[in-house]
């Protein structure tokens, strides 16, 4: 029998001025969701069931950028995306452009289980959701007052914001000056300069007691993004990947993750270079991101768990059958 392991994340790239209370709130949410996954694994749930269960829980809390609390487009609406992958046979499902589906990760699984396709987007995904009878809510359900205030700032600055729900200490989200919340930066996306963006995607990777691996990732994308923008989270091989060796979920600068096919590359260097899980994770973050900022979590079929990021912090947690459990933000 293999040993189970689980890892979760709430996004890579954290404001160094993040208030202590926000840090504690984030860690409590991560701990709660991690325990939900641990309890499910102890009850012999499959890896696929556990990643869906945990990501649904993360989507339902407005702390991170997925489901309720998702980033807003330039039009002030929410367009969500998610993917899920089963290492057994590399089955997968993905969705983009969702505006009314309460839990995008569950629709991604239905695409995998109940359609002949791997990826549905926008009107087609919404139509499929209605056909499948998933829970539908008004787009306003996903929108928070904090996000409305930060979208206003983003529009005034003509930029994309980082940690958009996190005002600087003493700053009023709706009245602070744009300059106080949008730092100068040389960060580029696809070669074009942008202000630091918000990468608070959520994800979960699991290996169960049979050695099967699964991964799931969900996000609302970037604050003030163009309507129709698709990031790495729903792209199999970029933001999410699982096979018989391992499972990976990525977070950070989506365009850099897409160019590097970051998640698949972890499995590739394990297979072709013979690296173990941590070595593979370290290698791809160092060698494949060029100047991009990102992080990832991973598990192997042997019960190993690993994470790596080159950004300023990553919300994360992990647990193993041996009793190890950790939740953290910084290095």
How far apart CA 214 and CA 243 sit, in angstroms, is: 8
How far apart CA 24 and CA 197 sit, in angstroms, is: 22
Is the dihedral angle over the CA atoms 257, 88, 124, 116 positive or is it negative? positive
Which of 75-88 are b and which e, b meaning 16 or more Cβ less than 10 Å from the residue's Cβ? eeebbbbbbbbbbb
294-311: pLDDT as tens digits: 999 999 999 999 999 999
Task: Quickly state the pLDDT bin for 160 (edges 50, 70, 90).
Answer: low
**Would you list which residues are annotated within the binding site?**
229-232, 251-254
What's the pLDDT at 1? 72
- More confident site: 227 or 197: 227
**What is the pLDDT averaged over residues 18-28?**
92
How far apart CA 40 and CA 45 sit, in angstroms, is: 5
Q: Is 201 marked active-site?
A: yes
In the block, residue with structure tokens 């970037």: 222
What's the pLDDT at 161? 53
Q: Is the pLDDT of residue 88 over 90?
A: yes
Cα–Cα separations (whole angstroms), residue 238 to 100, 152, 181: 25, 31, 30
Output the six-digit token pair for 176: 């602070």
Which one of the listed residues 46, 73, 201, 219 is annotated catalytic?
Answer: 201
What's the pLDDT at 172? 41
Q: What is the pTM of this model?
A: 0.90
Q: Is the pLDDT of residue 163 over 70?
A: no
Q: Is the pLDDT of residue 38 over 50?
A: yes
Q: What are phi and psi of 194, to 5 degrees?
A: -140, 160
- More confident site: 194 or 85: 85
Which of the residue ranges 13-22, 54-63, 169-178, 228-237 would you say has the lowest mean pLDDT? 169-178
- More confident site: 26 or 189: 26
**Would you list which residues are annotated within the binding site for substrate?**
229-232, 251-254
Task: Quickly state the pLDDT bin for 18 (edges 50, 70, 90).
Answer: confident
- More confident site: 149 or 250: 250
Q: Are 11 and 307 in contact (CB under 8 A)?
A: no
Q: Is the pLDDT of residue 155 over 50?
A: yes
Calculate what percentage of the chain has a pLDDT beyond 90.
Answer: 76
Which of the residue ranges 59-63, 190-194, 246-250 would you say has the lowest mean pLDDT? 190-194
Q: Is the pLDDT of residue 261 over 50?
A: yes
**What is the pLDDT averaged over residues 222-245?**
95
Q: Is the pLDDT of residue 141 over 90?
A: yes
**What is the pLDDT averaged over residues 12-41?**
93
Q: What is the mean pLDDT of the chain?
A: 89
């Amino acid at each position: 029998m293999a040993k189970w392991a689980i890892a979760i994340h709430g996004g890579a790239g954290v404001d160094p001025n993040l208030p202590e209370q926000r840090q504690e709130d984030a860690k409590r949410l991560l701990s709660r969701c991690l325990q939900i996954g641990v309890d499910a694994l102890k009850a012999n749930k499959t890896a696929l069931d556990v990643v869906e269960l945990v990501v649904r829980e993360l989507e339902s809390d407005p702390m991170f950028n997925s489901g309720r609390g998702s980033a807003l487009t330039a039009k002030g609406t929410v367009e969500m995306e998610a993917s899920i992958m089963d290492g057994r046979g590399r089955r997968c499902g993905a969705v983009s452009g969702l505006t009314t589906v309460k839990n995008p990760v569950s629709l991604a699984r239905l695409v995998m289980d109940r359609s002949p396709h791997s990826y549905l987007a926008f009107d087609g995904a919404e139509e499929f959701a209605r056909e499948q009878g998933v829970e539908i809510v008004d787009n306003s359900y996903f929108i928070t007052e904090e996000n409305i205030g930060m979208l206003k700032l983003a529009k005034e600055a003509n930029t994309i914001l980082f940690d958009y729900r996190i005002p600087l200490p003493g700053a009023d989200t709706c009245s602070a000056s744009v300059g106080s919340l949008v730092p100068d930066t040389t960060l580029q996306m696809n070669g074009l300069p942008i202000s630091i963006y918000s990468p608070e995607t959520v994800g979960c990777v699991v290996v169960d007691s049979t050695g099967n691996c699964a991964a799931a990732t969900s996000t609302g994308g970037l604050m003030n993004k163009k309507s129709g923008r698709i990031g790495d989270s729903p792209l199999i091989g970029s933001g999410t990947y699982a096979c018989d060796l391992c499972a990976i979920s990525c977070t950070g600068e989506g365009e850099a993750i897409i160019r590097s096919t970051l998640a698949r590359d972890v499995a590739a260097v394990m297979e072709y270079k013979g690296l173990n899980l941590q070595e593979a994770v370290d290698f791809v973050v160092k060698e494949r991101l060029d100047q991009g900022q990102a992080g990832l979590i991973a598990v192997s079929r042997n019960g190993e768990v690993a994470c790596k990021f080159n950004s300023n912090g990553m919300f994360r947690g992990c647990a193993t059958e041996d009793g190890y459990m950790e939740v953290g933000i910084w290095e």
